[in-house]
Amino acid sequence: MNIQKSILFLVFACCAMSLQAKTRIERDLRHWSFSRDSVRWQTVEVPHDWAIDGPFDKRWDLQRVAIEQNGERQATEKSGRSGALPWIGRGYYRTTVSVPADCRHAELLFDGAMSEPVVYVNGRKAGRWAYGYNAFRVDITPFLNRNGRNMIVVSLNNREESSRWYPGAGLYRPVKLITTAATRLDDWSVFVRTVSLTPAEAQLRIDWKAVGPMKGKRVEGRVIDDEGHVVAAFRAPTGQTAESRLLTVARPRPWSPESPALYRLSLDIRQADGRRQAIDRHTTRFGIRTVTVGREGGFMLNGRSRKFKGVCLHHDLGPLGTAVNKAALIRQIETMKEMGCDAIRTSHNMPSTMQMEVCDSLGMMVMAESFDMWFYPKCKNGYVRFFGEWADRDITNLVLNHRNHPSIVMWSIGNEIPEQWSEEGRETARRLQDLCHRLDPTRPVTQGIDRIDEALRSGFAQVMDVPGYNYRDYKYSSGIGRLPQGFLLGSETASTVSSRGVYKFPVTISDHAVYPDGQCSGYDTEFCSWSNLPDADFLMQDDRPYTIGQFVWTGYDYLGEPTPYDEYWPSRSSYFGICDLAGLPKDRYWLYRSVWNKRKHTLHLLPHWTWPGREGQTTPVFVYTDYPEAELFINGKSQGRLRHTIYSLPPADEATEKRQMETMDLLRRYRLMWTDVTYEPGEVKVVAYDATGKAVDSTLVRTAGSPARLRLEPDRPVIHADGDDLCFITVSMTDEAGNLVPTADDQLIFDVEGAGAFKAVCNGDATSLESFTRPQMKLFAGQLVLVVKSGTAAGDIRVTVRAPRRNLSATLRLKAK
């Protein structure tokens, strides 16, 4: 009998151990069925944007509104404001999952779902969220069938006039199923922060919370560097469910944009004897770094003062829509870093986890933003419907989900909130900022303010850790004395508009230029009524010591908001980007690079030099360079040498400052401009000289001949055979000598064979209504970008591009490994 009891005890003990022994299982739920009516279904892979296939049609979200942020007073028809794609309406996703028989807890982690997601498990409502941009978790444990298949259904509802730009539609970010034992670590409770940092050591504070029975169990932690070495470790007391622990790391490698060193925190729940497999394991990547802001030093990273060289980014990825993709994010961030950019603002939405992971690893600082509106609507069905009930919950999820990312250096609680003038607005700002501080005491909080005078009168700007000015450079001098912080941030700057490869004559500085073709000039002298030239922001950052940097609107063109063509059709995407919608740099990219990139020289000239019919007419030539002096030659004849001029702007009244920020004199500080060049076909060349007068660099552009070749340039020759990786191929029409033909607008056809497939195509033309997801498109200004997706098997990928009208074709071979 005693033997039988002993055996039974061992059996029960082993069963109990088996229920606790397995560590968590995390699965990406990629394969779903999708329907717009819950009747007809198709198989899709998540992340998925149901609207990006189109077609473009101005009726999808035709809005009749006055855009107050743009100074409009009378409502007019806005045809492409939210991208002119079919994102409005309901959508449904379903999939089936099984869980381990010994699973004691299961949750779904949605990184975002557009919009108003409601989650059902086996026919029962398991949870919901309101905001399409936010991550949220749903505990599905009570709804599971333990020994069978489980049906998960997600219902989404996108309402008309709920966005000022293209929001996308669907399960556009990853969805994870996480199963654990009864005792587990609460993922969002884990918080790693740098308390102090010196070259000799860093002190880290680690917080966590265990859920479930902890009797006879403990938490063990290890900090591991990027070479796999354990650099710090601890064991918490047995039975403890939550703790805050200090650890010391010797000779730390601080995270920064220049050196994005990462560490890994591994937390295990184990039996107290430590001999058995971990019951649960949570792993977090983090960086060791400190962030402070103050009157002395402004913004400081790791104790060193620096000014943000930042851009604003909407969340769509051009022809991919809003379906997040790691390869596309890497391309985007790497392009910005090569320009000299060191920060992004996630405008005006909460970022994806994948985007933050890319910024962590590549070294890009981030202002993580939350809302575009609070109580007052900018569009009738926007977030104003949810703010009162959901704002605190949304801020909580934003911070808890992302606070371990070293790339995030600042939280933003809003953008151009209309309540800036009011006491209610000021107190709401204070409350949301305090909530951020409670959840994360290590980062400052900001928001973008556009009604500067009203915000200063109400105290709205004064309560913020970091007062952010959207535009209004000419108000910097008059307002800084009223800011107790002693500094200000250009939270949104420039809004200069241009089209890649398009140039308008005569060249003038204008805040209201529009043209019959729906394009903007690539001379970078056109902006909007509320905004300014890039040069004005450069001057403010260079000459005003109280400024702590800027975030340019925008790094890339994005779908929707086609200002200044809000009322023009067809026009369905923005002109603000430093790069176009395809990710190709506009000329403005090189202007920013010449000022921001201190590691490499820049020498870029514009415009192109193929102007049939302009012979004998004035065609200005601009050069963007960090060299102090350059000489221009047309067909070997010197047009003279120019130097960057010294142009300063002493503080003055607002009207005077605004006027002086819109002059050619200002432009000459940052651009070399030969404004009276007469066009003649041939060669335009620029020679750069260093400070000693020595010729050190040159570049040239030639008049193109007849189109004769297709040039294919992949961003990488080898991609991963994981079913997700992308290759971005720039396709250019050239003449026989290899010169780009900027007038070419041929229709191209694409064929992809082998271990990859056609994914998308984009030419960067804001007025194009061609589908991104059909294998054909016209060139714009002689170029476009073709996107090829890998399969799941290794092998060769053969890409063929044809221009039928000219009987031209070109082939490129890639590898998937």
Which tens digits make up the pLDDT trace of 46-62?
999 999 999 999 999 98
**What's the pLDDT at 596?**
98
Is the pLDDT assigned to residue 382 strictly greater than 70?
yes
Domain 621-702 in this protein, CATH class: mainly beta
pLDDT in tens, 167-222: 999 999 999 999 999 999 999 999 999 999 999 999 999 999 999 999 999 999 99
Among 86, 203, 80, 314, residue whose Cα is nearest residue 773? 86
| pLDDT beyond 60 at 15 | no
Cα–Cα distance between 568 and 662 in angstroms, integer? 26
Cα 281 to Cα 269: distance, rounded to the nearest angstrom: 7
Which phi and psi angles does 461 have, rounded to 5°? Answer: -70, -35
Does 3 have pLDDT greater than 60?
Answer: no
Evaluate if residue 435 carries a pLDDT over 60.
yes
**N residues, the chain:** 817
- Collapse the DSSP code of 69 into the 3-class scheme (helix H, G, I; strand E, B; otherwise coil) and give the result: helix
> pLDDT, tens digit, for every residue of 141-152?
999 997 789 999
> What's the pLDDT tens digit per position in 444-498?
999 999 999 999 999 999 999 999 999 999 999 999 999 999 999 999 999 999 9
Helix (H) or strand (E) holding 261: none
Nearest partner of 520 among 531, 704, 664, 537, judged by Cα: 531
- Position 2 pLDDT exceeds 50: no
- Name the amino acid, one letter, at 168: G
Q: What does the pLDDT average to over 581-587?
A: 98
Which residues make beta-bridge pairs with 692?
none
Given a contact cutoff of 8 angstroms between Cβ atoms, the answer to whether 402 and 368 are in contact is yes
- Do the beta carbons of residue 763 and residue 769 sit within 8 Å? no
pLDDT on residue 102: 83
pLDDT in tens, 120-138: 999 999 999 999 999 999 9
Q: 238-242, 432-436, 556-560 — which is least confidently predicted?
A: 238-242
CATH code of 709-816, in short, is 2.60.40.10
Tell me the C-alpha distance between 242 and 210, whole Å. Answer: 6
Tokens of 14: 């082993």
How do residues 591-621 score in pLDDT, each as one tens digit? Answer: 999 999 999 999 999 999 999 999 999 999 9
CATH class of 303-600: alpha beta
pLDDT band at 627 (very low <50, low <70, confident <90, very high): very high
For residue 12, pLDDT over 70 is answered with no
> Would you say 528 and 495 are in contact if contact means Cβ atoms under 8 Å apart?
yes
Residues 6+ away with beta carbon under 8 Å from 327: 719, 724, 725, 726, 727
* Cα dist from 196 to 24, 202, 249, 263, whole Å: 33, 6, 10, 16
725 vs 275: which has the higher pLDDT: 725
Cβ atoms within 10 Å, residue 28: 11
pLDDT of residue 150: 97
How far is it, in rounded angstroms, from Cα 201 to Cα 253?
9
Query: Which ranges constitute the DSSP H helices of 608-755?
Result: 654-660, 664-670
pLDDT of 76? 85
Q: Chain-wide mean pLDDT for the chain?
A: 95
* 174 φ/ψ angles, rounded to the nearest 5 degrees: -60, 155
Nearest Cα neighbor of 630 from 583, 678, 700, 529 is 700
Q: In terms of CATH, what superfamily is 25-51+87-181? A: Galactose-binding domain-like (2.60.120.260)
Q: What's the average model confidence in pLDDT over 346-369? A: 98
What are the tokens at 100? 């381990």
The pLDDT of 341-365, averaged and rounded, is: 98
pLDDT reading at 274 higher than 80 = no
CA-CA distance, 369 to 355, in Å (whole number)? Answer: 13
CA distance from start to end of the chain: 62
Rounded CA-CA distance 351/355 in Å is 7
Amino acid making up residue 57: D
Mean pLDDT throughout 230-251? 96
Determine the Cα–Cα distance for residues 28 and 227; give it in Å rounded to an integer.
Answer: 27
In this prediction, residue 4 carries a pLDDT of: 40
Average pLDDT over residues 18-38: 82
Give me the active site residues, please.
416, 492
Could you give phi then psi for residue 143, rounded to 5 degrees?
-105, 5
- Kindly report the backbone phi and psi dihedral angles of residue 167, in degrees, each rounded to the nearest multiple of 5, phi listed first: -90, -15
Residue 136: closest CA among 181, 95, 188, 101: 188
Phi, psi of 646 (to 5 degrees): -90, 115
pLDDT at 408: 99
> 748: which strand partners?
777
CA distance readout (Å), 773 to 319, 321, 353, 542, 760: 8, 10, 26, 44, 5
For 610, the token pair is: 């193929």
Asked whether 540 and 480 are in contact (CB, 8 A), the reply is: no
Reported as a single tens digit per residue, the pLDDT across 99-121 is 988 889 999 999 999 999 999 99
Every domain of the chain and the residues it spans: 25-51+87-181, 185-278, 303-600, 621-702, 709-816
Q: 185-278 with 709-816: one CATH topology? A: yes
- 3-state class of 455 per DSSP? helix
Q: Is the peptide bond before 644 cis (omega within 30 degrees of 0)?
A: no
DSSP 398-410: HHHHHTT-TTEEE
Q: Where residue 22 falls among pLDDT bands split at 50, 70, 90?
A: low
Structure tokens at 636: 């070997």
- Architecture in CATH of 185-278: Sandwich (2.60)
Of 417, 166, 158, 110, the closest CA to residue 314 belongs to 166
